[in-house]
Amino acid sequence: MITNDFWLERWQTGRIGFHLEGVNPKLMDYWPVLTKQSKVLVPLCGKTNDMIWLAEQGYQVTGVELSSLAIIEFIGDNDLTYETLQQDSLKIHTINELPIRLIEGDYFDFHEHDFDACYDRAAMVAMPQNLREKYVQHTLQRLSQKAFLLLITLQYQGGKKGPPFSVAEEEVIQLWGSDIKKLASENLMETNPDYRDGSYTSFEESVWHIDQN
């Protein structure tokens, strides 16, 4: 079973193969130009550098992450300083050098709303089947009515069961609603040798958005 302890242990033992060193090219390719200062939510953010990129575009970034280690590593790796405020079960870390707040705690305890946009890479697909609908509903409730969403999902056959979990197209549309549109798909078995170890028979990464403007 995938519990919070599972993720805390992954960080403690350094098993964070999901972390990318650079900025995700799909974020740079598919993120639109939004009004400066737009409030961007990054659920289950880990220590992704994508938050730095979003902040450098002029957005107010809020990442939510369970693991204190992920947050410490993000701050350390990027040579940042911060101030912390405790708010109920959550710790709010405000970065001094960039418009980034890191919320440490369980995403389901995070109730701020009216975000203008959301970036989900390896978040929905990190959620096991029994929590996926709750995750999507919780995320939609954090967003303003016309908010922009960029979502990256995986769909594969064979290999390990996950996380990351394989999420079918029909499930993406059923959970996020009919406004979600697929922008692109990449067959990772063709473009990345890591996926050609024989355990998978297919492995596709898809980029989706909800853009009502």
Ligand X SMILES: C[S@@+](CC[C@H](N)C(=O)[O-])C[C@H]1O[C@@H](n2cnc3c(N)ncnc32)[C@H](O)[C@@H]1O
Binding site for ligand X (CB under 6 A): 4, 7, 18-19, 44-46, 48, 64-67, 70, 106-108, 121-123, 126, 163
Tokens of 97: 């050098």
Smallest separation (angstroms) from ligand X to the CB of 166: 14
Smallest separation (angstroms) from ligand X to the CB of 178: 25
- Minimum CB distance to ligand X smaller for 60 or for 139: 139
Smallest separation (angstroms) from ligand X to the CB of 43: 7
- Minimum CB distance to ligand X smaller for 14 or for 35: 14
- Minimum CB distance to ligand X smaller for 123 or for 145: 123
Smallest separation (angstroms) from ligand X to the CB of 181: 21
Smallest separation (angstroms) from ligand X to the CB of 142: 13
Contact (Cβ atoms closer than 8 angstroms) between residue 202 and residue 189: yes
Contact (Cβ atoms closer than 8 angstroms) between residue 187 and residue 203: yes
Q: Taking CB positions, which residue lies at the least distance from ligand X?
A: 46
Contact (Cβ atoms closer than 8 angstroms) between residue 51 and residue 61: yes
Smallest separation (angstroms) from ligand X to the CB of 197: 20
Question: What is the end-to-end Cα distance of the chain in Å, rounded?
Answer: 39
- Minimum CB distance to ligand X smaller for 56 or for 108: 108
Distance, in Å, from the CA atom of 105 to the CA atom of 65, rounded to the nearest integer, reads 6
- Minimum CB distance to ligand X smaller for 134 or for 146: 134
DSSP conformation letters of 105-172: S-GGG-----EEEEEEESSGGGS-HHHHHHHHHHHHHHEEEEEEEEEEEEEEEES---SSPP--HHHH
Pairing of strands 90-95, 82-87: antiparallel
- Minimum CB distance to ligand X smaller for 65 or for 171: 65
